[in-house]
Amino acid sequence: MATKNKKEILYVSIETAFVGIVCFVVGEHVSQWVHDGKGYIDGLWCMISALVVLQSFINDTLQASKDRIIGTLVASVVSVLACLVFDYGYLAIFFSIALSAYAMNLMKMEDGVRIATATAAVITGYGFIKPEDSPLLNASMRSLDTLIGVGISLAVVYLSYKLKVRQMVVPN
C-alpha cells in the first residue's frame, strides 16, 4: 500500500471538502431550476455521489465513477417501475432494492450493488417525504445529481493529476 505524506493527506482532505460543498451548492441550484426549489435532497445526493467516488488514485476513481453511474441508472429505472406498480410504499422499496441488486449482480458489477440498492432506497423512500412528486421526476433528479457529482469529482481529480498531486495508479 502506498503511503502519503502529511501534505498529500492535507491536500486530499481539503480537496474532498471542497468537492463536497461545491456539489451540495450545485445540486441545490439545479433543483431550483428543475422543480420545486427545495433542493436539500438534491444537494445532498449530488454531494454523496461525488464523495463516494473520490479515491486516492485516478484509476480507482474512474472505476468507482462507472459503478456509481451504472448503479444509479439501473436503480432509477427499477425504482420508477416499482413505484408505478406499487406506488410509493414498502413494496416499492422492497422490490426496487431486490431487483436493483439482482440486475447489478447479473451484470457482474458487485461493487455497484451498494450504490444501486442505496439509490433505489432513496428514490422509493423519498415518496414518504414527498408523495406528490412523480417517481419519474424523483428518479431523474437522483440520476442528474449523480452525474453532476461524479462529473465534478472527476474534474477535480483530473486537475489534481495535472498538478501532480494525485497519481494515476498505485505506485509499486
pLDDT value of position 1? 44
pLDDT value of position 99? 98
**Whole-prediction pTM:** 0.84
Domain ranges, ordered by start, for the chain: 6-162
DSSP assignment letter at 4: -
- Highest average pLDDT, of 56-60, 102-106, 133-137, comes from 102-106
Q: Is the pLDDT of residue 70 over 90?
A: yes
The residue assigned the cell 495535472 is: 162
